[in-house]
Amino acid sequence: MKIGPYELANNLALAPMAGVTDKPFRDLCKSMGASVAPSEMVTSDTRLWHTQKSRRRMDHSGEAEPRIVQIAGADPKMMATAAKLNVERGAQIIDINLGCPAKKVCKRKAGSWLLNDEPLVRAILEATVDAVDVPVTLKTRTGWSPERRNGVRIATIAQDAGIAALAIHGRTRECRFSGAVDYETIRDIKQSVRIPIWVNGDIDSKKKARQVLSFTGADGVMIGRAAQGRPWIFREIAHHLNPARQEDARSETDIFETRDIMRVHLQNLYAFYGEYTGVRVARKHLGWYLKENSGAASVLSQAIRATSTVEQMALLETYFANAIARKDVAA
């Protein structure tokens, strides 16, 4: 895939997820095979950028290219300004959020609420594209509700406005994250536009990725929740889709590599957030990593109560030492 001047290493993307895709997780997923990894959603209201949370979301120091910042808002001028300022801070691609179904976002008439107002969508996209000299992409859904699927019209508006690529979650705003994924509409969208399409929604295995790409004709897949606790899914899918291009023929992880990945991830979380916040952010990642592992319940219970990095890391080391000794996970 190619987005503007950027020739991507493959057609796999990490989905932007609030509270998940911070810089340490983006770096990890890129190292495991994701070619692009947009930031967490950043508000277009620059008056709120003074907070530590916003500053962290816009921190791309040392991040592998292309650096992508996702912005959200409902005012074309504010979105254009936010895009321009983020480019000045190092963003190489701007991604617009038209897919978030959260009530607090939709109450501000942003995110997937905008699917209600196609003229406003056009105004926002045109203003943002005109404001910057970098590619602008769009993350969206198939429509507002199953009865109001306007994904094809939104995609056409996006293409006409100069959007460089689309990522489409195969559910409507009303469906949020439940129910069957509507890959049919994504197929219709792909047939209606010429720009690259990432298909998103319930792609949780290499087999599913191949099936969805074949059915929809999409150019790539975007992985969200399936990467939580399993960032190596990108490597697995990349190897499955095109094994000849993989330098490392091994696509699966063993217990030793899983341990090393988790070590590095936790260390990077601690460094990025500091002791107090780092330990607390690490808790949810530990839960995702260990939720299906044999014998993990006890150590996980302790790890999510740990209040220091030393204690939390020691629990992780003890868990893996015992797991290796028991051979609970194939080595």
**Catalytic positions, written as ranges:** 100
Task: In whole angstroms, give the CA distance from residue 225 to residue 14.
Answer: 9
Beta bridge partners of 13: 36, 222
Q: How many CB atoms are located within 10 Å of the residue 57 CB?
A: 21
Query: DSSP E strands: which ranges in 108-247?
Result: 136-141, 165-169, 197-200, 220-223
Task: In whole angstroms, give the CA distance from residue 250 to residue 238.
Answer: 11
CA nearest neighbour of 124 among 84, 82, 74: 74
305: buried, middle or exposed (CB in 10 Å: 19+, 13-18, 0-12)? Answer: exposed
Pairing type for strands 12-14 and 42-43 reads unpaired
Pairing type for strands 68-72 and 93-97 reads parallel
Q: How many CB atoms are located within 10 Å of the residue 150 CB?
A: 20
What burial letters (b/e) apply to 168-201, b meaning 16+ CB within 10 Å? bbbbbbebeeeeebbbebbbbbbeebebbbbbbb
